[in-house]
Copies of this chain bind each other. A is one copy, B any other.
Amino acid sequence: MKAMSHQPSSTQRNPDRTRQAILEAAFREIYRHGYQGTRMDDIVKATGLTKGALYHHFPNKQSLGYAVVEEVILIMLMTVWDEVKNSDNPLDRIIDVIERLDDYVGEQIFTLGCPLNNLSQEMSPLDEGFRQRIDEVYRLWHEAIDAALTKSRDAGQLKTDADIPEIATFLLGALSGCIGLAKNAQSNQLYKQCGNGLIHYLNSLRT
């Protein structure tokens, strides 16, 4: 029972930083192993904290999982797509994101897939709380794509009869699907092929 006291390493007490560290570690574990495959003990190890500390910040595994959706995945996703929406040429920017996806979100996207889609496919039928939170993220994502396409249409780059909400939904689904294919094949080559199909489709909508 020796005390050992503190090995602060950074600062001595910083609950916000600790909470953030837990969230990021949890995200990484869930991203790699899925929610059900994630062990609380592994998150504890990854943070270098103890179980007591973890359960001080989050009452249980479920609430930690929810927080990962709301505070990690949402921000990562919207960082990319708000930029797309606010760019001068959203349509070209969308195609650029598809073409150079790894530059935007990291190469692991081809081997580990889309974090949101992963969680969605695993947890939606099992946990209504997850489903609703993920659904909300998809809603915001769709909203951003919708705004981006509308901007491009108003700039005269898209056919005026284009059904923007439908295109946004299809783009979202198709992109998720392409990433999913690549993940299973463990092949960014397959992603390129699938992404090219998507780009051809988008170009066919141009004026």
Contact = CB atoms under 8 A, between A and B. Distances in A.
Interface of A: 32-34, 36-37, 111-113, 117-118, 120-122, 124-126, 131, 134-135, 138, 165-167, 169-178, 180-181, 183-186, 190, 193-194, 196-198, 200-201, 204
A138 B185 contact: yes
B122 A167 contact: no
B37 A183 contact: no
Contacts of A170: 174, 178, 193-194, 196-198, 200-201
A14 to B, nearest CB: 33
A126 B33 contact: yes
A131 B186 contact: yes
Contacts of A32: 125
B190 A181 contact: no
B180 A121 contact: yes
Contact of A193 (B134, B169, B193): B169
A174 to B, nearest CB: 4
Given A166-B196, A193-B166, A197-B166, A181 B176 contact: yes
Contacts of A180: 117, 120-121, 173, 176-177, 180
Contacts of A200: 166, 170
A193 B174 CA distance: 12
Contacts of A186: 124, 131
A79 to B, nearest CB: 21
Contacts of A175: 177
B184 A169 contact: no
A196 B171 CA distance: 12
B34 A184 contact: no
Contacts of A172: 177, 181, 194
Nearest to A113: B121
Nearest to A190: B169
Nearest to A204: B204
B177 A173 contact: yes
